[in-house]
Amino acid sequence: MASAAVADGHEAAILTSEDLRELLAPFPLLIAGPPAEELVAETVRRLGGPWNGPGPGAAELFAGTRVDLTYEQARIRAKEFAPDLIVCDTLDFVGPMLAAELGTPWALHGVSGGLPPHFGEVLDERWDAQLARYGLTRTPRLAYVDPYPDLLHGEDAPSAADRLPVRIVPFDRSGAAYEPPEFSRPGARVLVTLGTSVDDRDMEREFATSLAEAGFNVLVTGPAPDGAGLGPAVRHIGFVPLARVLPDVDLVVSAGGTGTVLGALALGVPLVIRPVMADHPFNAARAQRLGAALTITEPGEAGAAARQVLGDPAFARAAGEVRARNAALPSPADVLRELETRLPGH
Protein backbone atom coordinates (compact mmCIF):
# COMPACT_ATOMS: atom_id res chain seq x y z
CA MET A 1 0.00 0.00 0.00
CA ALA A 2 2.86 2.39 0.80
CA SER A 3 4.53 1.61 -2.53
CA ALA A 4 1.24 2.23 -4.34
CA ALA A 5 0.84 5.57 -2.57
CA VAL A 6 4.32 6.74 -3.58
CA ALA A 7 3.80 5.56 -7.16
CA ASP A 8 0.64 7.68 -7.30
CA GLY A 9 2.53 10.77 -6.19
CA HIS A 10 1.57 10.77 -2.52
CA GLU A 11 3.81 11.09 0.51
CA ALA A 12 3.82 7.90 2.60
CA ALA A 13 5.44 7.13 5.93
CA ILE A 14 5.33 4.08 8.16
CA LEU A 15 4.90 4.39 11.92
CA THR A 16 6.97 1.70 13.62
CA SER A 17 9.99 1.04 15.81
CA GLU A 18 13.58 1.97 14.95
CA ASP A 19 14.75 -1.63 14.52
CA LEU A 20 12.68 -2.01 11.32
CA ARG A 21 14.33 0.87 9.47
CA GLU A 22 16.51 -1.28 7.21
CA LEU A 23 13.69 -3.72 6.50
CA LEU A 24 11.35 -0.94 5.38
CA ALA A 25 13.81 1.14 3.38
CA PRO A 26 13.42 3.43 1.51
CA PHE A 27 10.18 4.56 3.18
CA PRO A 28 10.53 7.28 5.82
CA LEU A 29 9.66 6.03 9.29
CA LEU A 30 7.77 7.74 12.07
CA ILE A 31 9.62 6.18 15.00
CA ALA A 32 7.45 5.31 17.97
CA GLY A 33 7.64 2.57 20.56
CA PRO A 34 10.13 -0.20 21.34
CA PRO A 35 10.92 -3.27 19.19
CA ALA A 36 8.60 -6.26 19.27
CA GLU A 37 11.00 -8.20 21.52
CA GLU A 38 10.68 -5.56 24.24
CA LEU A 39 6.90 -5.48 23.91
CA VAL A 40 6.73 -9.26 24.30
CA ALA A 41 9.11 -9.19 27.29
CA GLU A 42 7.03 -6.53 29.03
CA THR A 43 3.83 -8.46 28.34
CA VAL A 44 5.34 -11.63 29.79
CA ARG A 45 6.31 -9.62 32.87
CA ARG A 46 2.76 -8.30 33.22
CA LEU A 47 1.19 -11.72 32.78
CA GLY A 48 3.69 -13.57 34.92
CA GLY A 49 4.45 -16.03 32.14
CA PRO A 50 4.40 -16.63 28.36
CA TRP A 51 1.45 -17.47 26.14
CA ASN A 52 1.23 -19.15 22.74
CA GLY A 53 -2.00 -18.26 20.97
CA PRO A 54 -5.00 -15.95 20.63
CA GLY A 55 -6.40 -15.02 24.03
CA PRO A 56 -5.90 -12.62 26.93
CA GLY A 57 -2.10 -12.75 26.65
CA ALA A 58 -2.05 -11.73 23.01
CA ALA A 59 -4.74 -9.11 23.66
CA GLU A 60 -2.56 -7.57 26.37
CA LEU A 61 0.37 -7.44 23.94
CA PHE A 62 -1.47 -5.71 21.11
CA ALA A 63 -4.13 -3.60 22.84
CA GLY A 64 -2.38 -3.17 26.19
CA THR A 65 1.42 -3.14 26.21
CA ARG A 66 1.93 -1.77 22.69
CA VAL A 67 -0.49 1.10 23.26
CA ASP A 68 1.04 1.90 26.66
CA LEU A 69 4.61 1.99 25.31
CA THR A 70 3.94 3.48 21.87
CA TYR A 71 0.98 5.86 21.86
CA GLU A 72 2.56 8.95 23.44
CA GLN A 73 5.40 8.94 20.91
CA ALA A 74 3.05 7.98 18.08
CA ARG A 75 0.72 10.93 18.64
CA ILE A 76 3.68 13.34 18.43
CA ARG A 77 4.96 11.79 15.20
CA ALA A 78 1.48 11.61 13.67
CA LYS A 79 0.70 15.24 14.44
CA GLU A 80 3.98 16.26 12.81
CA PHE A 81 3.24 14.19 9.70
CA ALA A 82 -0.45 15.25 9.54
CA PRO A 83 -1.77 12.31 7.49
CA ASP A 84 -4.87 12.51 5.30
CA LEU A 85 -5.37 8.74 5.60
CA ILE A 86 -4.21 6.11 8.08
CA VAL A 87 -4.00 2.45 7.06
CA CYS A 88 -3.41 0.06 9.96
CA ASP A 89 -3.45 -3.68 10.39
CA THR A 90 -5.96 -5.80 12.24
CA LEU A 91 -3.92 -6.01 15.43
CA ASP A 92 -2.75 -2.39 15.48
CA PHE A 93 -4.72 -0.35 18.01
CA VAL A 94 -2.42 2.65 17.93
CA GLY A 95 -3.49 3.58 14.39
CA PRO A 96 -7.25 3.79 15.08
CA MET A 97 -6.55 5.74 18.27
CA LEU A 98 -4.51 8.27 16.28
CA ALA A 99 -7.36 8.48 13.77
CA ALA A 100 -9.76 9.27 16.62
CA GLU A 101 -7.50 11.90 18.16
CA LEU A 102 -6.57 13.61 14.88
CA GLY A 103 -9.95 13.25 13.19
CA THR A 104 -8.23 11.41 10.32
CA PRO A 105 -10.03 8.85 8.13
CA TRP A 106 -8.65 5.34 8.50
CA ALA A 107 -8.87 1.91 6.91
CA LEU A 108 -8.15 -1.52 8.36
CA HIS A 109 -5.84 -3.90 6.46
CA GLY A 110 -6.22 -7.60 7.21
CA VAL A 111 -3.23 -9.63 8.38
CA SER A 112 -5.04 -12.91 8.98
CA GLY A 113 -7.96 -14.85 7.61
CA GLY A 114 -10.23 -13.80 10.45
CA LEU A 115 -9.76 -13.82 14.20
CA PRO A 116 -11.52 -16.29 16.52
CA PRO A 117 -14.66 -14.53 17.87
CA HIS A 118 -13.61 -14.90 21.50
CA PHE A 119 -10.24 -13.31 20.73
CA GLY A 120 -11.92 -10.35 19.05
CA GLU A 121 -14.06 -9.81 22.12
CA VAL A 122 -11.05 -9.85 24.46
CA LEU A 123 -9.19 -7.42 22.19
CA ASP A 124 -12.15 -5.04 22.08
CA GLU A 125 -12.51 -5.09 25.84
CA ARG A 126 -8.85 -4.25 26.40
CA TRP A 127 -8.95 -1.54 23.72
CA ASP A 128 -12.08 0.04 25.18
CA ALA A 129 -10.14 0.55 28.40
CA GLN A 130 -7.37 2.31 26.48
CA LEU A 131 -9.81 4.56 24.63
CA ALA A 132 -11.40 5.56 27.94
CA ARG A 133 -7.99 6.27 29.43
CA TYR A 134 -7.22 8.79 26.68
CA GLY A 135 -10.76 10.17 26.47
CA LEU A 136 -11.21 8.98 22.90
CA THR A 137 -14.22 7.64 21.01
CA ARG A 138 -13.96 5.12 18.20
CA THR A 139 -14.46 6.51 14.72
CA PRO A 140 -15.85 4.42 11.83
CA ARG A 141 -13.36 3.05 9.35
CA LEU A 142 -13.51 3.65 5.60
CA ALA A 143 -13.11 -0.01 4.66
CA TYR A 144 -11.66 -3.39 5.50
CA VAL A 145 -8.87 -4.16 3.02
CA ASP A 146 -8.67 -7.95 2.76
CA PRO A 147 -5.64 -9.74 1.26
CA TYR A 148 -7.19 -13.20 1.71
CA PRO A 149 -8.79 -14.56 -1.49
CA ASP A 150 -12.25 -16.10 -1.10
CA LEU A 151 -10.71 -19.55 -1.59
CA LEU A 152 -8.79 -19.18 1.68
CA HIS A 153 -11.74 -17.89 3.67
CA GLY A 154 -13.98 -20.88 3.08
CA GLU A 155 -17.60 -20.92 1.96
CA ASP A 156 -19.16 -20.25 5.36
CA ALA A 157 -16.82 -17.51 6.56
CA PRO A 158 -18.54 -14.20 7.39
CA SER A 159 -17.60 -11.27 5.17
CA ALA A 160 -17.34 -7.65 6.35
CA ALA A 161 -19.87 -5.37 4.68
CA ASP A 162 -17.11 -2.86 3.88
CA ARG A 163 -14.66 -5.45 2.54
CA LEU A 164 -12.31 -4.41 -0.28
CA PRO A 165 -10.38 -7.41 -1.64
CA VAL A 166 -6.78 -6.66 -2.56
CA ARG A 167 -4.21 -8.63 -4.53
CA ILE A 168 -1.47 -10.32 -2.50
CA VAL A 169 1.95 -8.90 -3.35
CA PRO A 170 4.88 -10.88 -1.88
CA PHE A 171 7.22 -8.79 0.22
CA ASP A 172 10.05 -7.01 -1.58
CA ARG A 173 12.64 -4.49 -0.49
CA SER A 174 14.31 -1.75 -2.49
CA GLY A 175 17.89 -2.59 -3.34
CA ALA A 176 17.66 -6.22 -2.25
CA ALA A 177 19.75 -8.63 -4.28
CA TYR A 178 19.37 -12.35 -4.79
CA GLU A 179 21.63 -14.62 -6.79
CA PRO A 180 20.22 -18.17 -7.11
CA PRO A 181 22.78 -20.55 -5.59
CA GLU A 182 24.21 -23.44 -7.55
CA PHE A 183 23.94 -27.03 -6.32
CA SER A 184 26.13 -29.99 -7.22
CA ARG A 185 23.17 -32.34 -7.72
CA PRO A 186 19.92 -32.06 -9.65
CA GLY A 187 16.62 -31.94 -7.83
CA ALA A 188 13.76 -29.76 -6.70
CA ARG A 189 14.54 -26.63 -4.71
CA VAL A 190 12.85 -26.13 -1.35
CA LEU A 191 12.83 -22.87 0.61
CA VAL A 192 12.95 -23.07 4.40
CA THR A 193 11.83 -19.86 6.08
CA LEU A 194 10.57 -19.08 9.57
CA GLY A 195 9.65 -15.52 8.61
CA THR A 196 10.06 -12.62 11.00
CA SER A 197 8.18 -13.91 14.05
CA VAL A 198 9.85 -17.25 14.83
CA ASP A 199 13.49 -17.49 15.87
CA ASP A 200 14.22 -21.19 16.23
CA ARG A 201 17.52 -22.24 14.71
CA ASP A 202 17.07 -25.83 15.91
CA MET A 203 13.80 -26.17 13.98
CA GLU A 204 15.38 -24.53 10.96
CA ARG A 205 18.26 -27.02 11.07
CA GLU A 206 15.91 -30.00 11.46
CA PHE A 207 13.87 -28.83 8.46
CA ALA A 208 16.97 -28.43 6.31
CA THR A 209 18.53 -31.74 7.36
CA SER A 210 15.34 -33.70 6.76
CA LEU A 211 14.85 -32.15 3.33
CA ALA A 212 18.46 -32.67 2.27
CA GLU A 213 18.35 -36.32 3.35
CA ALA A 214 15.17 -36.72 1.29
CA GLY A 215 17.08 -35.64 -1.83
CA PHE A 216 16.12 -31.97 -2.13
CA ASN A 217 18.27 -28.91 -2.64
CA VAL A 218 17.52 -26.57 0.24
CA LEU A 219 17.59 -22.78 0.50
CA VAL A 220 17.40 -21.39 4.04
CA THR A 221 16.67 -17.76 4.84
CA GLY A 222 18.85 -16.17 7.47
CA PRO A 223 22.58 -16.42 8.21
CA ALA A 224 24.59 -19.63 8.08
CA PRO A 225 25.08 -21.34 11.46
CA ASP A 226 28.37 -21.10 13.30
CA GLY A 227 30.73 -23.98 12.73
CA ALA A 228 30.22 -26.73 10.18
CA GLY A 229 27.54 -26.29 7.56
CA LEU A 230 24.73 -28.70 6.79
CA GLY A 231 26.26 -30.15 3.66
CA PRO A 232 26.39 -29.26 -0.06
CA ALA A 233 22.62 -29.58 -0.51
CA VAL A 234 21.88 -26.70 1.90
CA ARG A 235 22.52 -23.04 1.15
CA HIS A 236 21.86 -20.15 3.56
CA ILE A 237 20.80 -17.14 1.49
CA GLY A 238 20.30 -14.43 4.12
CA PHE A 239 17.08 -12.51 4.71
CA VAL A 240 15.98 -12.36 1.07
CA PRO A 241 12.59 -10.80 0.26
CA LEU A 242 10.08 -13.45 -0.78
CA ALA A 243 9.43 -11.68 -4.07
CA ARG A 244 13.03 -12.42 -5.10
CA VAL A 245 13.39 -16.03 -3.99
CA LEU A 246 9.94 -17.59 -4.50
CA PRO A 247 10.23 -17.77 -8.31
CA ASP A 248 13.35 -19.91 -7.79
CA VAL A 249 11.77 -22.66 -5.64
CA ASP A 250 9.32 -25.55 -6.07
CA LEU A 251 8.10 -25.74 -2.45
CA VAL A 252 8.14 -23.68 0.75
CA VAL A 253 8.57 -25.17 4.22
CA SER A 254 7.54 -22.74 6.94
CA ALA A 255 5.94 -22.17 10.33
CA GLY A 256 2.79 -20.84 8.67
CA GLY A 257 3.13 -17.08 9.05
CA THR A 258 0.67 -15.02 7.03
CA GLY A 259 3.27 -13.30 4.86
CA THR A 260 4.94 -16.56 3.88
CA VAL A 261 1.74 -18.51 3.24
CA LEU A 262 0.06 -15.77 1.21
CA GLY A 263 3.25 -14.91 -0.65
CA ALA A 264 3.88 -18.51 -1.67
CA LEU A 265 0.30 -19.13 -2.81
CA ALA A 266 0.24 -15.82 -4.69
CA LEU A 267 2.98 -17.27 -6.88
CA GLY A 268 1.47 -20.75 -7.04
CA VAL A 269 4.06 -22.43 -4.78
CA PRO A 270 2.71 -25.22 -2.50
CA LEU A 271 3.79 -25.52 1.13
CA VAL A 272 4.66 -27.83 3.99
CA ILE A 273 3.76 -26.14 7.29
CA ARG A 274 4.72 -26.90 10.86
CA PRO A 275 2.60 -24.41 12.87
CA VAL A 276 4.28 -22.81 15.89
CA MET A 277 2.07 -20.08 17.37
CA ALA A 278 -0.48 -17.30 16.89
CA ASP A 279 -2.43 -17.70 13.63
CA HIS A 280 -0.10 -20.38 12.22
CA PRO A 281 -2.54 -23.27 12.85
CA PHE A 282 -5.37 -21.35 11.15
CA ASN A 283 -3.23 -20.52 8.13
CA ALA A 284 -2.06 -24.12 7.87
CA ALA A 285 -5.61 -25.47 8.10
CA ARG A 286 -6.85 -23.10 5.39
CA ALA A 287 -4.03 -23.93 2.98
CA GLN A 288 -4.37 -27.67 3.63
CA ARG A 289 -8.15 -27.54 3.16
CA LEU A 290 -7.52 -26.11 -0.30
CA GLY A 291 -5.13 -28.93 -1.11
CA ALA A 292 -2.22 -26.49 -1.52
CA ALA A 293 -0.30 -27.49 1.62
CA LEU A 294 0.46 -30.33 3.99
CA THR A 295 0.68 -29.82 7.75
CA ILE A 296 3.25 -31.67 9.87
CA THR A 297 3.74 -31.89 13.64
CA GLU A 298 7.52 -32.41 13.81
CA PRO A 299 10.29 -30.66 11.83
CA GLY A 300 11.88 -34.00 11.03
CA GLU A 301 8.81 -34.92 8.95
CA ALA A 302 9.59 -32.18 6.42
CA GLY A 303 11.46 -34.39 3.96
CA ALA A 304 8.75 -37.05 3.69
CA ALA A 305 6.04 -34.38 3.47
CA ALA A 306 7.93 -32.56 0.71
CA ARG A 307 8.14 -35.78 -1.27
CA GLN A 308 4.40 -36.24 -0.90
CA VAL A 309 3.56 -32.70 -1.97
CA LEU A 310 5.93 -32.56 -4.93
CA GLY A 311 5.02 -36.10 -5.95
CA ASP A 312 1.33 -35.27 -6.29
CA PRO A 313 0.46 -32.66 -8.98
CA ALA A 314 -2.80 -31.89 -7.17
CA PHE A 315 -0.92 -29.71 -4.66
CA ALA A 316 0.61 -27.56 -7.41
CA ARG A 317 -2.77 -27.29 -9.16
CA ALA A 318 -4.43 -26.08 -5.97
CA ALA A 319 -1.70 -23.50 -5.38
CA GLY A 320 -2.00 -22.45 -9.01
CA GLU A 321 -5.73 -21.87 -8.55
CA VAL A 322 -4.99 -19.45 -5.69
CA ARG A 323 -2.43 -17.72 -7.92
CA ALA A 324 -4.98 -17.27 -10.69
CA ARG A 325 -7.69 -16.00 -8.34
CA ASN A 326 -5.23 -13.62 -6.70
CA ALA A 327 -4.07 -12.18 -10.02
CA ALA A 328 -7.67 -11.24 -10.83
CA LEU A 329 -8.09 -9.16 -7.64
CA PRO A 330 -7.70 -5.37 -7.53
CA SER A 331 -4.12 -4.21 -7.06
CA PRO A 332 -3.01 -2.21 -4.00
CA ALA A 333 -3.01 0.88 -6.25
CA ASP A 334 -6.62 0.20 -7.26
CA VAL A 335 -7.66 -0.19 -3.63
CA LEU A 336 -5.80 2.94 -2.56
CA ARG A 337 -7.62 4.96 -5.23
CA GLU A 338 -10.93 3.56 -4.03
CA LEU A 339 -10.07 4.62 -0.48
CA GLU A 340 -9.29 8.11 -1.78
CA THR A 341 -12.80 8.39 -3.23
CA ARG A 342 -14.16 7.73 0.27
CA LEU A 343 -12.22 10.56 1.89
CA PRO A 344 -14.21 13.63 2.93
CA GLY A 345 -14.40 16.16 0.11
CA HIS A 346 -13.99 13.61 -2.67
User: Alpha-carbon distance 264 to 216, whole Å?
Assistant: 18
Measuring CA to CA, how many Å separate 35 from each of 26, 66, 86, 194, 253?
19, 10, 21, 19, 27
Predicted local confidence at residue 157, as pLDDT: 60
Q: 94, 32, 43: which is closest to 65 by C-alpha?
A: 43
| Per-domain residue ranges of the chain | 2-167+329-341, 189-327
Query: What is the distance between the alpha carbons of residues 210 and 122, in angstroms, rounded to a whole number?
Result: 40
Q: What is the pLDDT of residue 163?
A: 92
Find, among 311, 276, 269, 277, the residue nearest to 293 by Cα.
Answer: 269
Point out the residues of the chain with pLDDT beneath 50: none
- Position 334 scores a pLDDT of 95
CB-CB neighbours of 163 under 10 Å:
13
Distance of CA 339 to the CA centre of its chain: 22
Residue 134's pLDDT is: 93
Which pLDDT does position 229 carry in this prediction? 62
pLDDT for res 250: 92
Query: What beta strand segments (E) does the chain contain?
Result: 14-16, 29-31, 86-89, 106-109, 144-146, 163-165, 189-193, 217-221, 234-238, 251-254, 271-273, 293-295
3-state class (DSSP) for residue 119: helix
Distance, in Å, from the CA atom of 105 to the CA atom of 143, rounded to the nearest integer, reads 10
* CA 156/CA 273 separation, integer angstroms: 24
* 3-class DSSP state of 2: helix
E strand or H helix at 120, and its extent?
helix 117-134
CATH number of 2-167+329-341: 3.30.565.10, 3.20.20.70, 3.40.50.2000, 3.40.50.300? Answer: 3.40.50.2000
pLDDT score for 281: 81
Q: What is the pLDDT of residue 311?
A: 93
Contacts of 345 (CB under 8 A, 6+ apart): none
Nearest Cα residue to 293 out of 326, 327, 317, 259:
317
Whole-model pTM: value is: 0.84
Superfamily name and number for 189-327: Glycogen Phosphorylase B; (3.40.50.2000)
* Whether the domain at 2-167+329-341 and the domain at 189-327 fall into the same CATH topology: yes
Q: What are phi and psi of 176, to 5 degrees?
A: -70, 145
Q: What number of H helices and E strands is found in the chain?
A: 15, 12
Gap between the Cα atoms of 283 and 286, Å rounded: 5
Q: Is 48 left (phi over 0), alpha (psi -120 to 50) or beta?
A: left
pLDDT for res 144: 93
CA–CA distances in Å: residue 140 to residues 96, 99, 137: 9, 10, 10
Rounded to 5 degrees, φ, ψ at 86 are -115, 130
